Structure 1
């Protein structure tokens, strides 16, 4: 994306390096405060609530990404480890500025969706967009699920796409809007690549189908331009293309050097 490269050259010096590390540390600290110090009330001050934002609690536009997953300590370690792995992998591939752009544009998407629906939000879908981007760039990378079972991330990504597709179909409009806006950053970065890849696959399938149809219809693969013998007539016959003929003309071994060259 040339436009993003231009932004990087102008504003790259302002990028926050190791952004995901800082967010993970903040998640861990807040989790400790909530579950080990008993300050569950802190959640009420951090999640994204557009109604309260309009009442002056502007900090909620930023603090919702600091809320950790509300789960057991064991699963928290797994989740935070994977968030860091995905963020660090994306930053390594793109550089700090582009990763910052991806992350903050994802935040903006969730904020817009929350204002449209009037609902409350956390960073769940934002982290999901990180995972999908990571899986796109590193499809064969293996994750130790629960630190035991190795699974390539592409399979986990497929599961998440199916899960979101199911929810998009069967959930209400509020959920649909949230899904669409949380994935805007993903399609900004990978949309063109997906379209080109899809077209190339379709073109490849059409070519393969046409080739197979052509081969099946003529019932042979090789045919001599002079005598007309084919590999079906004589399976042991050798065939070659003539390098001196202007075009792709094939001859049996008997006529390869004994024919009039086509110009």
Structure 2
């Protein structure tokens, strides 16, 4: 997979957008604020297949930003602020881990997979979906938590919580909410396929590469230590301070080194 991604990156890297997730977060903020003042605004953005057929084609792209906003108060403002900061952090973390091109690919896959899920369910199963853009944000959270499981957030400003716990709870709630309906589970699987088929394989390849690198470094260090000349070599048995690092060596009156087991008695 890395070979294919390397080939794609050489051809299309010039089209990559640094900080793409940051820009998406800013758009989320704009839509959130507009929806807070005009709740009907999100409905003009969300995926609605009959309206798309009627000419509202922009819904094919804007559905990813449609969000459900409750009451507009200090709590929602606080949630918006910290949510945006998290998205900025996820953007920087993933670009540092994957690079700009692979991060862009992950995001585009997430958008297209969610669009395909919406079209499939609208055309084949005649089932509408609502506010499905949340799956893109969830897949970004899952990807960041996969690579940085020990990163700790302070919930309520004083409760430390590793990011993997938050991702696991979010994913668990999604799965539990879809277990009663095979179609809902299928919809969920398609929407987060960017995480299942991009983030996880890249993480597995990264883990294998890191393990093999560690083995090579350990082997190299061992070979280097073997090539180092011994400072003490027993004149009697040939043991030295490299082959027997725990042994004690002394210089006898005859000027030769001996290990403690073969040191001549005076």
**CA 1:149–1:125 in 2, change beyond 3 Å: closer, same or farther?**
same
Q: Deviations over 1:100-123 (max 9, x none)?
A: 110111111111111122223431
CA distance in 1, matches of 2:3, 2:157: 39
- The count of residues paired between Structure 1 and Structure 2 equals 198
CA distance in 1, matches of 2:84, 2:156: 12
Asked whether the equivalents of residues 30 and 66 of structure 1 are also in contact (C-alpha less than 8 Å), the reply is yes
Return the offset for 1:126.
Answer: 1.1
- What is the match of residue 59 of structure 1? 58
CA distance in 2, matches of 1:146, 1:26: 26
Return the offset for 1:93.
Answer: 1.3
CA distance in 1, matches of 2:138, 2:31: 20
Return the offset for 1:81.
Answer: 2.1
Asked whether the equivalents of residues 118 and 129 of structure 2 are also in contact (C-alpha less than 8 Å), the reply is yes
Return the offset for 1:68.
Answer: 4.4
Asked whether the equivalents of residues 45 and 60 of structure 1 are also in contact (C-alpha less than 8 Å), the reply is yes
Please tell me whether residue 137 in structure 1 is matched to residue 147 in structure 2: yes
Asked whether the equivalents of residues 147 and 203 of structure 2 are also in contact (C-alpha less than 8 Å), the reply is no
Residue 194 of structure 2 is aligned with which of 179, 185, 193?
Answer: 185
**CA 1:55–1:177 in 2, change beyond 3 Å: closer, same or farther?**
farther
| RMSD between superposed Cα atoms in Å | 2.7
CA distance in 1, matches of 2:205, 2:95: 24
TM-score norm. by structure 2 comes to: 0.66
Q: Which moved more, 1:157-166 or 1:4-13?
A: 157-166
Return the offset for 1:165.
Answer: 2.7
Q: How does 1:29-48 map to 2 (within 5 A)?
A: 29-35=30-36, 38-48=37-47
Return the offset for 1:151.
Answer: 0.9
**CA 1:185–1:103 in 2, change beyond 3 Å: closer, same or farther?**
same
Structure 2: which 5+ runs fail to align?
Answer: 71-75, 123-127, 207-266
- What is the match of residue 21 of structure 1? 22
**CA 1:57–1:147 in 2, change beyond 3 Å: closer, same or farther?**
farther
Structure 1: which 5+ runs fail to align?
Answer: 198-263
Q: How does 1:230-241 map to 2 (within 5 A)?
A: none
Residue 99 of structure 1 is aligned with which of 103, 106, 110?
Answer: 103
CA distance in 1, matches of 2:5, 2:167: 26
CA distance in 1, matches of 2:197, 2:148: 18
